[in-house]
Amino acid sequence: MPYLVSSIIAVVSAMVIMFTRYEADDSTITAELDRMKSMFVTVDGFVNTYVESGGNLTSVNFEELYNAGILLGNIKRTSPAATTDNVKNDVKKSTLTFPGSTVVWQLIPNKDDSSSYKLLVDMTKNSTLLAKGTFAESFSGREYCEKILFGTFQTKGKTYDATAGSEDFKEDGTNKDGLFVCIVYK
């Protein structure tokens, strides 16, 4: 009898633990993170092509890549004022949004090191990634920025400072706001 009672208690305890530790299906965030990986690799590929064709990292941004004909054919710019632009027509504030994605990328030269560039990754419009903002930022920064691109991950990067002479990303964010900076060295 004690064996039967202890077995029932063990089964009930296991079920309680199982039900309280259950997490929702994470396939959606996994798919979004996989898309992030391909976008990181693609942006770095654009920069590599730009450098290999004689471009200089001291002036790299998406406007420059667009003008050099490096961006993919399905990444188009219509006009600076249009809200549907994939590439904004402003050298210092040029951004890119991949077709079918809501993640916004901003590329600028690294004023502290002419052999690198900086990427501001803005996931704030992607509800799937923002729902787990801390995890999405940390995972993308560590796995894609640091491990794949051998870059430096700045979790608190948030906004572009267009002040003359500064022209850099400010570290005025948090580690869960959906924004971070990746510095990639070439």
* From 13-22, 43-52, 89-98, 114-123, the region with the lowest mean pLDDT: 13-22
CB 131 within 8 A of CB 171: no
Give 12 or 104, the one with higher predicted confidence.
104
* From 46-55, 85-94, 171-180, the region with the lowest mean pLDDT: 85-94
Task: Give the pLDDT band of residue 171 (cuts 50, 70, 90).
Answer: confident
Q: Rounded mean pLDDT of 98-107?
A: 89
Burial (0-12, 13-18, 19+ Cβ within 10 Å), 112: exposed
pLDDT in tens, 114-170: 999 999 999 999 999 988 888 999 999 999 999 999 999 998 887 777 675 667 788
Note the pTM of the prediction, 2 decimals.
Answer: 0.77
Give 136 or 10, the one with higher predicted confidence.
136
> Can you give the residue ranges of every domain in the chain?
27-185
HSE-up (13 A, CA, CB side) for residue 126: 27
Task: Give the pLDDT band of residue 15 (cuts 50, 70, 90).
Answer: low
pLDDT at position 48 over 60: yes
Distance separating the N- and C-terminal Cα atoms of the chain: 71
Task: Give the pLDDT confidence score for residue 183 in this predicted structure.
Answer: 94
